[in-house]
Amino acid sequence: MSTVHNWQLGRPMQYPYDAAYPERQFAFVFNINRCIACQSCTMACKSTWTFNKGQEHMWWANVETKPYGGYPQSWDMKILELLERANPGGQRWNGAGAGKPTSPYGRFDGKTIFETQETLLQPPSSRVLGYLPDDEEWNSPNIWEDNPVGPKGERNRLHPTGEALPVHKTWFFYLARICNHCSYPACLAACPRKAIYKRPEDGIVLIDQEQCRGYRKCVEACPYKKSIYRGNTRTSEKCIACYPRVEGKDPESNGQPMETRCMAACIGQIRMQGLVKLKSDGTWAEDRQHPLYYLVHVAKVALPLYPQFGTEPNGYYIPPRWVPRPYLRQMFGPGVDLAIERYSNPDRELLAVLQLFRRDNRIIYRYAMEKGPEIYRGKLRDRTITLYNDTVIAYGRNGNELFRTTVEEPFHVRPDKHANSI
């Protein structure tokens, strides 16, 4: 075991390999407040990468309904329970050092999935705490969720009110997920054949299909359960972050790096993906005008998913503001209260950066703001909303402008019949 620094936990951590960080890291922000589970991302991924025989149960991108849904079923509750059994009552955060770049959320005093060997929950050969979901858990990605189905015996028809399934009369939200391309991947740590690697240029985690022998150690180890076994090839497969697009090899992009298929297909415009600069210690290099750096480290509205697992996931979420805080703190760590406070009362720059989501399929490397006049100030539910005619400009890899977003006040043309009514 080596000692590495996990900035999301604010402390050093045990990991089976020495630390090695890419030049830039694939990362993304999902705004849960906008997700309506249309599943466009899910199907974009499915129709691009996992439509072959043997991949029927395989959803590299999925959207699940929380708190009662999950693919595979109850994946997060199961791993949280394993960690609790390994360290009863000890999975706690303390606020020490919160706000520093090396510990923005304070310090996690509990154990990660790499630090439970001595509790002997698993055979000594296991490097990572995990479990292997059974076939039933993989089979139905949205079972027991609020998806409307058609009346029995009638094909291609939705139930008119969507109430064919039991309705959960409580709060819920939709959690869109892909592989987090973690900085300390559990799948990579667990693979006995070293078939899994992290690319030095963009941090994308891939399984070498030539090397994989389908031992499923990665499936067992990944706490997010995003490594999936394929029976007919007897290998495991996972999200590849649409790496040909990220490399700029898609003919549509003219050589520019493009966002993944799931990002591009998002009709709710909840997603932004980018490549962030890393320092030699694995923390994010200061890049003030990078939209992801701004959302994660300046505005602090985007938080990692289950940071306590210890893999340093590179997927960040703007938490849903209507969900009880204890649940959100368990899922996104102690930064939740600040994130929701800031997101609910956005400042001028945050409003501007939120306008960059899904305006283009090319990856944004930098943004700039040209400030304009205030055009509206009013109240919405006791909150003061101020809108400005600011222009936000997005730049690509080579510093070239991709697009600019601005605000227009609508003008109304008086109809002919009222032309002289003044």
Q: Which stretch binds other proteins (CB under 8 A): 102-110, 184-192, 228-236, 249-257?
A: 249-257
- For every residue of 235-267, DSSP letters joined together read EEEE--TTHHHHTT-SGGGTTS-B--HHHHT-T
Distance CA 361, CA 104 (A): 30
Which parts of 302-361 interact with other proteins (CB under 8 A)? Answer: 320-324, 326-327, 354-355, 359-360
- Looking at beta carbons only, is 208 or 347 nearer to other proteins? 347
Distance CA 222, CA 135 (A): 16
Select from 204, 221, 228, 402 the one that contacts other proteins (CB under 8 A): 402
Identify which of 134, 166, 361 has the alpha carbon closest to the alpha carbon of residue 264.
361
Q: Residue 197 is encoded by which pair of tokens?
A: 């690697």
Q: Is 368 in the site for other proteins (CB under 8 A)?
A: no
If one counts every other C-beta atom within 10 angstroms of the C-beta of residue 135, the result is: 10
Q: Point out which residues pair with 69 in neighbouring strands.
A: none
> Residue count at the site for other proteins (CB under 8 A)?
61
Q: Is 170 in the site for other proteins (CB under 8 A)?
A: yes
Q: Is 34 in the site for other proteins (CB under 8 A)?
A: yes
- Looking at beta carbons only, is 198 or 362 nearer to other proteins? 362
Each residue 121-160 as x (binds other proteins by CB under 8 A) or -, in order, gives ------------------------xxxx---------xxx
Q: Is 33 in the site for other proteins (CB under 8 A)?
A: yes
Distance CA 133, CA 57 (A): 13
Identify which of 260, 212, 216, 213 has the alpha carbon closest to the alpha carbon of residue 240.
260
Q: Is 171 in the site for other proteins (CB under 8 A)?
A: yes
Q: Is 365 in the site for other proteins (CB under 8 A)?
A: no
Give the Å distances, CA to CA, from 216 to 130, 173, 188, 398: 11, 31, 12, 41
Q: Which stretch binds other proteins (CB under 8 A): 206-214, 215-223, 250-258, 294-302?
A: 250-258
Select from 75, 174, 306, 365 the one that contacts other proteins (CB under 8 A): 174
Select from 125, 232, 254, 421 the one that contacts other proteins (CB under 8 A): 254
What does residue 188 show for φ and ψ, rounded to 5 degrees? -65, -40
Distance CA 103, CA 96 (A): 8
Identify which of 216, 222, 417, 189 has the alpha carbon closest to the alpha carbon of residue 313.
222
Tell me the three state secondary structure of residue 31: strand
Distance CA 341, CA 319 (A): 11
- Looking at beta carbons only, is 51 or 376 nearer to other proteins? 376
- Looking at beta carbons only, is 168 or 216 nearer to other proteins? 168
Question: Can you say whether residue 221 is alpha, beta or left, with left for phi > 0 and alpha for psi between -120 and 50 degrees?
Answer: alpha
Minimum gap (Å) between residue 406 Cβ and other proteins:
5
Q: Which stretch binds other proteins (CB under 8 A): 36-44, 125-133, 308-316, 413-421?
A: 36-44
- Looking at beta carbons only, is 109 or 247 nearer to other proteins? 247
Each residue 76-115 as x (binds other proteins by CB under 8 A) or -, in order, gives ----------------------------------------
If one counts every other C-beta atom within 10 angstroms of the C-beta of residue 286, the result is: 12
Which parts of 225-244 interact with other proteins (CB under 8 A)? Answer: none
- Looking at beta carbons only, is 95 or 255 nearer to other proteins? 255
Sequence-separated (6 or more) residues with CB below 8 Å from residue 153: none
Q: Is 278 in the site for other proteins (CB under 8 A)?
A: no
Distance CA 287, CA 187 (A): 29
Q: Which stretch binds other proteins (CB under 8 A): 8-16, 97-105, 172-180, 294-302?
A: 172-180
Identify which of 236, 225, 220, 183 has the alpha carbon closest to the alpha carbon of residue 205.
183
Minimum gap (Å) between residue 133 Cβ and other proteins:
20
Distance CA 297, CA 292 (A): 8
Distance CA 391, CA 356 (A): 11
Each residue 38-77 as x (binds other proteins by CB under 8 A) or -, in order, gives x--------------------------x-x----------
Select from 163, 281, 347, 374 the one that contacts other proteins (CB under 8 A): 163
Minimum gap (Å) between residue 156 Cβ and other proteins:
13
If one counts every other C-beta atom within 10 angstroms of the C-beta of residue 228, the result is: 23
User: Binding residues for other proteins, per CB under 8 A?
Assistant: 31, 33-34, 36-38, 65, 67, 145-148, 158-163, 167, 169-174, 251-254, 268-269, 320-324, 326-327, 354-355, 359-360, 375-376, 378, 380-381, 385, 387, 389, 400-410
